């Protein structure tokens, strides 16, 4: 399937602003090498708050008209609300909100955001976002049969086979729909790619080209509260085509794998050139060899901007920095991308 977004956005008409991520830094200097494409916050971020979560404002101009979208809403402390005040962002101007996946550090601020949206604004998410509640992780990524899990859950915990069994905060479907109805916000549940505007499209369910990129040894609950193998089927990314520059890949966490996410973008849009890769890359606690493979893949693509934040992890950014790829930069709360 090829989704036509060749009617892209002209370069210089798009600004991405990080409204919340894990880190706040007022000493991070803007690097001259980006020629104004990446601008780091300084004094304006002194009152901003960092949290384990992600929210990015997407602001663009088409035919002189401004448009504003929001990619994710940060975590449960709703720091996005306070940071919007710090950065003079009016959520009432948001036309579309896109939730990347059903983890609380990406939908956490949604209940506070919806009441501030204008009537007629739209909320896009994959329906599986509502069921990401229970999670079980196994030692060393090993696989356990559903039958074995059903009859020996406690034993598997006791012998250390299960390293994590958690119930995470739920994106409550009824609460969200009730709130959206009150404020006349339209909810679009979809597993399919959605064209948001000329040159803008959501990924839909991301194809898995390489299973090794997906987290191993993890089970999650489904809509009938059974467990199933985790393959990040709830995850949505955003792809933006900048004319004569290529694709911008926006990711929430890239649980399905950042390489899979990029390959899916190229296949979906028919556009091979990648201009920028921004968001969470989920390279925490993965083998060094996999991190190096990802870095090599990105270097071969030769984008102009690569910014892994939130769940990307120290090791990825350290190795990108050491290798000195000209696209590499850091993203903190308040970082802007002018693309």
Is there a domain that residue 5 lies in? no
For residue 300, list its beta bridge partners: none
Is there a domain that residue 159 lies in? no
Largest CA distance in the chain: 63
Q: How many angstroms separate the first and last alpha carbons of the chain?
A: 27
Q: What are phi and psi of 98, to 5 degrees?
A: -120, 120
pLDDT at 160: 73
Q: What is the pLDDT of residues 223-262, one digit of tens each?
A: 666 777 888 999 999 999 999 999 999 999 999 999 999 9
Is there a domain that residue 156 lies in? no
Is there a domain that residue 138 lies in? no
Is there a domain that residue 158 lies in? no
The DSSP code for 33 is G
Q: What is the pLDDT of residues 256-266, one digit of tens each?
A: 999 999 999 99
Is there a domain that residue 9 lies in? no
CATH assignment at residue 314: 3.60.15.10
Is there a domain that residue 152 lies in? no
Rounded distance between C-alpha atoms, residue 259 and residue 199, angstroms: 21
pTM of the model: 0.94
Q: Are 257 and 214 in contact (CB under 8 A)?
A: yes
pLDDT at 146: 65
User: Across the 339 residues of the chain, what is the mean pLDDT of every consecutive 10-residue run?
Assistant: 84 97 93 96 91 97 92 96 96 98 96 97 96 77 65 71 81 96 98 95 96 82 73 95 97 96 97 98 90 96 97 94 93 97
Q: Which residues neighbour 262 within 8 Å (Cβ) at sequence distance 6 or greater?
A: 249, 274, 277, 297, 301
**Residue 306 is part of which domain span?**
14-133+168-338
C-alpha 284, offset from chain centre: 15
Tell which residue, 286, 112, 126, 269, has the closest CA to residue 201: 269
When divided into structural domains, the chain yields a total of: 1
Tell which residue, 213, 3, 214, 193, has the closest CA to residue 98: 193
Is there a domain that residue 256 lies in? yes
């Amino acid at each position: 399937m090829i989704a036509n977004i060749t009617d892209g956005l002209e370069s210089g008409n798009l600004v991405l602003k990080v409204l919340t991520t894990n880190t706040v830094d007022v000493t991070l200097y803007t690097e001259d090498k980006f020629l104004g494409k990446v601008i780091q916050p300084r004094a304006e971020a002194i009152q901003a708050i960092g949290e384990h979560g992600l929210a990015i404002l997407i602001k663009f101009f088409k035919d002189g008209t401004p448009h504003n979208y929001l990619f994710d809403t940060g975590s449960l402390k709703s720091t996005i609300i306070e940071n919007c005040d710090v950065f003079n962002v009016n959520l009432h101007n948001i036309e579309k909100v896109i939730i990347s996946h059903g983890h609380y550090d990406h939908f956490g601020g949604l209940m506070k955001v919806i009441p501030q949206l204008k009537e007629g604004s739209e909320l896009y998410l994959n329906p599986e976002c509502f069921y990401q509640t229970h999670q079980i992780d196994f030692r060393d990524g090993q696989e356990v049969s559903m039958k074995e899990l059903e009859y020996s859950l406690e034993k598997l915990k006791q012998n250390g086979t299960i390293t994590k069994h958690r119930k995470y905060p739920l994106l409550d479907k009824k609460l969200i729909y009730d709130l959206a109805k009150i404020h006349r916000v339209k909810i679009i549940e979809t597993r399919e790619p959605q064209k948001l505007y000329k040159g803008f499209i959501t990924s839909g369910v991301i194809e898995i080209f390489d299973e090794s990129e997906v987290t191993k040894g993890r089970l999650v609950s489904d809509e009938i509260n059974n467990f199933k193998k985790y393959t990040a089927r709830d995850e949505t990314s955003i792809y933006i085509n900048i004319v004569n520059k290529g694709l911008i890949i926006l990711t929430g966490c890239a649980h399905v794998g950042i390489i899979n996410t990029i390959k899916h973008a190229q296949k979906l849009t028919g556009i091979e050139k990648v201009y920028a890769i921004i968001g969470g890359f989920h390279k925490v606690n993965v083998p060094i060899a996999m991190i190096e493979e990802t870095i090599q893949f990105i270097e071969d693509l030769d984008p102009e901007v690569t910014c892994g934040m939130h769940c990307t992890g120290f090791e990825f950014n350290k190795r990108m920095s050491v290798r000195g790829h000209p696209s590499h930069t850091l993203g903190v709360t308040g970082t802007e991308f002018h693309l």
